[in-house]
Amino acid sequence: MRAAHTVEQVRAAEASLMATLPDGTLMQRAAAGLATAVTDLLGGAYGRHVLLLVGPGDNGGDALFAGALLARRGASVEVLPVADRVHEAGLAAVRRAGGRVVALADLIPPDVVVDGIVGIGGRPGLRRPALDALRAVAGVPLVAVDVPSGVEVDTGRLDGAHVTADLTVTFGTHKVCHLVEPAASACGVVHLVDIGLDLPDASVTALQADDVAGLLPVPAAEAQKYTRGVVGVRAGSARYPGAAVLSTSGAACGLAGMVRYAGGAADAVRARHPEVVVGEGRVQAWVVGSGGDADAGEALAAALRDAVPLVVDADALRHLTAPLEASALLTPHAGELAAMLGVERTEVEADQLAFARRAAREYAATVLLKGHHTLIAAPNGRVRVTTTGTPWLAVAGAGDVLGGLCGALLAAGLTPYDAGSVGSWLHGAAATLASAGGPISAPDVAAALPRVIADLLR
């Protein structure tokens, strides 16, 4: 499990550990990890030109002590202060190792820039000296120390000018901004350096492959189709039969024992999936809404009458009334979530974590907010972030497959929170496998699911 802690949690853990260690030990640990990461990025330190952009805090100190280590390994290290003061001990270490302080007017293009402007205690946005320095080195590979300067660490928001890094080297734990968009995209690749922090449980996490494998519903030796769960699909319509086909494709991934279809596109479903049972009947979970068109409201009402867990997507989301009494997983994109909450789409996109949590709380349901990094928010405030996937997954019908897949996991016995988290992870991994770096379609994603699942279980 990848955990993302808040600034307050990190600060408390650092203070507790520093009380047991000699002064400066944590900074030296961070600097050593940072110097190693920069060396790896460059393919070696000797003869390389490293520029440190340094602000006044401990983040700048980490950069300076790392610069001293790089200078001792043969790098040419220059320091460009972007504040009235910098970490004095760190600057002295750089100078002793042969580094030097430079002015903006004297910059020579470096091989790499290290962003030590502000750290996790900094406010969003950047001041003029930092912006001028960043403009002067535009296009040079950039390594951020702990977090890209200028982002909102605990929310993932971007409010004002900020650094966009190629690599972020963080210490002790991931922070929320490393996982949550839009700030996550400013982090580039995130490399975690263990500095020995003892941290509490985090409310924002990201499943890893082993976690997903441990949550997958695996049939027992004596299993039969009904004990493995029956997932019902009320999706598609005469106008959008493809949504029914894609939803049942996701549901028929093999994680549930049987798929039942009740909707207005039965012929299309039969033609594609002869194993799907068409008609009303008992199910352990429903998938409702994708391509439902004018039928979506009645389909949702019928599913709610069964009093089983359900996945609500697309057209059916417009018919929800908060709070829900059913056990539900809601799967909106940003525009649909905005409509559910009566706000603008741009507001949701700018503050995804806050709005996903708000919707989960108001609707008393788990909310899966689709995006580059999909968020799965529970009513109690816990959030899982899905980081699998590929930009090629942004294709029509992919969400229909995801809804069916999550419904299969609900029918097999997972909670809405686990079903959304595991389903989203599998969906992204299947897209990556199917893509192999190129374009895909929604049926490709559904077809790749069994292979992804088999690989996890090996």
Judged against a pLDDT cut of 90, whether residue 154 lies above it is answered with yes
- Across 118-142, b (16+ Cβ under 10 Å) vs e yields bbbebebbbbebbbebbebbeeebb
Judged against a pLDDT cut of 90, whether residue 80 lies above it is answered with yes
Residue 270's pLDDT is what?
97
How does pLDDT run across 272-313, given as a tens digit for each residue?
999 999 999 999 999 999 999 999 999 999 999 999 999 999
Over residues 348-368, the mean pLDDT reads 98
Q: How far apart are the first and last CA of the chain?
A: 19
Residue 338's pLDDT is what?
98
Q: Are 377 and 367 spatial neighbours (Cβ–Cβ below 8 Å)?
A: yes
Residue 106's pLDDT is what?
92
Proportion of the chain above pLDDT 90, given as a percent: 99
- Rounded to whole angstroms, what are the CA distances from 85 to 91, 147, 367, 393, 420? 10, 20, 45, 47, 48
Q: How confident is the model at residue 323 (pLDDT cuts 50, 70, 90)?
A: very high
Judged against a pLDDT cut of 90, whether residue 241 lies above it is answered with yes
Domains of the chain listed by start with CATH number: 2-203 (3.40.50.10260), 209-457 (3.40.1190.20)
104 dihedral zone (left: phi>0; alpha: psi -120 to 50; beta): alpha
Residue 322's pLDDT is what?
95
The pLDDT mean for the chain works out to 97
- Closest by CA to 186, choosing from 169, 163, 203, 219, is 163
- Closest by CA to 193, choosing from 415, 28, 414, is 28
How does pLDDT run across 418-436, given as a tens digit for each residue?
999 999 999 999 999 999 9
Residue 123's pLDDT is what?
85
Q: How confident is the model at residue 216 (pLDDT cuts 50, 70, 90)?
A: very high
| d(C-alpha 213, C-alpha 428), whole Å | 15
pTM score, whole prediction? 0.96
Binning the chain into helix, strand and coil, the percentages to the nearest 5 are 45, 15, 40
Q: Which of 123-137, 365-379, 412-426 has the lowest mean pLDDT?
A: 123-137
Judged against a pLDDT cut of 90, whether residue 122 lies above it is answered with no
Over residues 55-63, the mean pLDDT reads 95
Q: Are 306 and 327 spatial neighbours (Cβ–Cβ below 8 Å)?
A: no
DSSP sequence for 307-330: TS-EEE-GGGGGG--SSP-S-EEE
Residue 20's pLDDT is what?
96
Judged against a pLDDT cut of 90, whether residue 121 lies above it is answered with no
Residues 187, 190, 194, 200, CA torsion sign: positive
The set of residues, in sequence order, having a beta carbon less than 8 Å from that of 143 and lying 6+ positions away, is 34, 37, 38, 41, 112, 113, 114, 115, 165, 166, 167, 168, 169
